């Protein structure tokens, strides 16, 4: 199999399935709103070049601590709108 085929068949589905969205999907409404608020805070700080109140590292740590399997890079992709959600 060529490298291109391998990339298309194995890397793309991984990218398509956004881990951040998977986590958000299983949260209850209040939890999801709270996480969404943190995400929006980080996004708007980034867009206005100010310092966010929260960091992606912190958010990831909190989620992992509460039993969610998500990586900082997945969260970064989602927050930076580089994932499949957009």
Which residues would be at the binding site for Zn ion (CB under 5 A)? 18, 20-21, 78, 83, 85
CB of 5 to Zn ion, least distance (A): 25
CB of 82 to Zn ion, least distance (A): 8
Query: How far from each other are the two terminal CA atoms of the chain, in whole angstroms?
Result: 31
Of residues 6 and 34, the one with the C-beta less far from Zn ion: 34
Of residues 21 and 61, the one with the C-beta less far from Zn ion: 21
Q: Where are the alpha helices (DSSP H) in the chain?
A: 3-6, 12-16, 19-26, 29-47, 56-65, 72-79
Of residues 57 and 82, the one with the C-beta less far from Zn ion: 82
Q: How many Cβ atoms sit within 10 Å of the Cβ of residue 19?
A: 19
């Amino acid at each position: 199999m060529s490298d291109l085929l391998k990339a298309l068949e194995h890397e793309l589905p991984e990218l398509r399935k956004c881990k951040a969205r998977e986590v958000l999907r299983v949260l209850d409404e209040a939890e999801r709103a709270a996480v969404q608020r943190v995400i929006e805070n980080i996004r708007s700080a980034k867009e206005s070049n100010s310092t966010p109140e929260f960091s992606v590292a912190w958010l990831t740590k909190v989620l992992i601590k509460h039993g969610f399997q998500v990586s900082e890079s997945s969260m970064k992709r989602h927050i930076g709108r580089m994932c499949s959600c957009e």
